[in-house]
Amino acid sequence: MSNFNEDFATKFQCKTNYTSWSIQNQLIDICAKNIVDQIVTEIKECGIFSVMCDEARCFRQEQLSLCVRYTNGLDVVERFLGFIDVSMKQDANALASAMTNFFQQNGISQSIVAQSYDGASIMSGQFNGVQQKIKTQHPEAIYIHCMAHKVNLLIMDMCKVVKDTRIVFNCLESLYVYFSHPTNNTKFCEMQKKLGIKETSLTRISDTRWNCRFKNCRAVKQNYQAIIQLLNSEVDIAMNRDVSQAIGILATIKSTRFIINLFILEEVLQLANMLSTKFQQKSVTLGKTVNLIEGMIDTFEQNRSNKIWTELWININ
């Protein structure tokens, strides 16, 4: 058939393809450019926008992750614009200039009316921070400390100040280290299957990704029997330094004080995790944020009652 149909012959020569990494990268760049162009068009139609920026470090360079919020018709939308390479310098002037240059390169000259970053002084500084540098160019650009970061700071302060909380999280970190060894992790997974427990991994405690604390509290609570049985068996058969680690962890997690604090922390962190998740939704507004915070305060106050304590004690038993 190829001898009689030129188009058919050309199609099935299979000499041209687009599977090389360079072609694929070009296609990705083209798609990204089209998306950014569409976002820029919507910003220009709106006339004003707000900016959100945070560090996004990779193994090769320091980056800023840049997002914008604006209205499209009657809808509030949030869009990721791109990463900005700031490896050369990370002071307030350099970061503010990098953001400004990025907007100029993409043809965005509209007014910035709000800006949101974390609470680091280089970003939030009232006199020499990035927010002040941006406000010099855009006087209407009010600064709002990222609410999710505020929740993170609150949780971190609580974890440092309350002694019982420190004990719980130090123990959770010890559990993670113990079960991060391949042999112990395999035994842990086998014990979960044996007891019919959904397989759940313990994660490292992080100061910046504090929601892992809630996940760890829940994981230890759900796998408590598996952890106890496995550590008991390790104490009976192990002949190395793991024995002392297992004995120390067992002594802590079997105490009534630890169990009570674990249940309380799981409840508190679950509420805080819900709050943080709401803060990160694209549709959230300042008014909704205030209502969420007030509602959370009311919930905590209501939980300080004999009724809630009785329910918690029943669950523990």
- The CATH architecture to which 6-145 belongs is 2-Layer Sandwich (3.30)
Q: Sort strands 111-117 and 142-145 into parallel, antiparallel or unpaired.
A: parallel
Q: What is the pLDDT of residue 273?
A: 84
Q: What is the pLDDT of residue 210?
A: 66
Q: How distant is the alpha carbon of residue 289 from its chain centre?
A: 18
Report how far apart the first and last C-alpha atoms of the chain are (Å, whole number).
79
Classified as helix, coil or strand, 206 is coil
Q: In sequence order, which residues have a C-beta less than 8 Å from that of residue 217 and are 6 or more positions away?
A: 168, 172, 262, 265, 266, 269
Domain assignments of the chain as residue spans, ordered by start? 6-145, 150-316
Q: What is the pLDDT of residue 103?
A: 92
Q: What is the pLDDT of residue 13?
A: 64
Q: Residue 93 in contact with residue 133, Cβ under 8 Å?
A: yes
Nearest to 53 by CA among 151, 155, 149, 156: 149
Nearest to 268 by CA among 300, 239, 226: 300
Burial class (CB in 10 A: 0-12, 13-18, 19+), 192: buried
Residue 137 has, within 13 A of its CA and on its CB side, a CA count of 17
Q: Residue 269 in contact with residue 213, Cβ under 8 Å?
A: yes
Q: What is the pLDDT of residue 2?
A: 62
DSSP state string for 232-291: HHHHHH--STHHHHHHHHHHHHTSHHHHHHHHHHHHHHHHHHHHHHHHTSTT--HHHHHH
The CA distance from 226 to 217, in Å, is 15
Q: What is the pLDDT of residue 207?
A: 67
Q: Residue 259 in contact with residue 316, Cβ under 8 Å?
A: yes
Per-position pLDDT tens, the chain of length 317: 666 677 766 666 666 667 788 888 999 999 999 999 999 999 999 999 999 998 887 777 888 999 999 999 888 899 999 999 988 888 999 999 999 999 999 999 889 999 998 878 888 888 889 999 999 999 999 998 887 777 777 777 877 788 888 889 889 889 988 888 888 888 888 888 888 888 888 887 776 666 778 888 888 999 999 999 988 888 877 666 667 888 888 899 999 999 999 999 888 888 888 888 888 787 777 788 888 888 888 988 888 888 888 888 888 87
Q: Residue 193 in contact with residue 187, Cβ under 8 Å?
A: no
Q: What is the pLDDT of residue 35?
A: 94
The CA distance from 2 to 128, in Å, is 71
Q: How distant is the alpha carbon of residue 19 from its chain centre?
A: 34
Nearest to 177 by CA among 166, 191, 161, 188: 188
Residue 213: φ, ψ to 5°: -65, -40
Owner of token pair 């395999």: 186
Q: Which two tokens stand for residue 215?
A: 């996940």
Question: Cα–Cα–Cα angle for 10, 13, 19, nearest 5°?
Answer: 110
pTM, to two decimals? 0.65
Q: What is the pLDDT of residue 201?
A: 82
Q: What is the pLDDT of residue 96?
A: 92
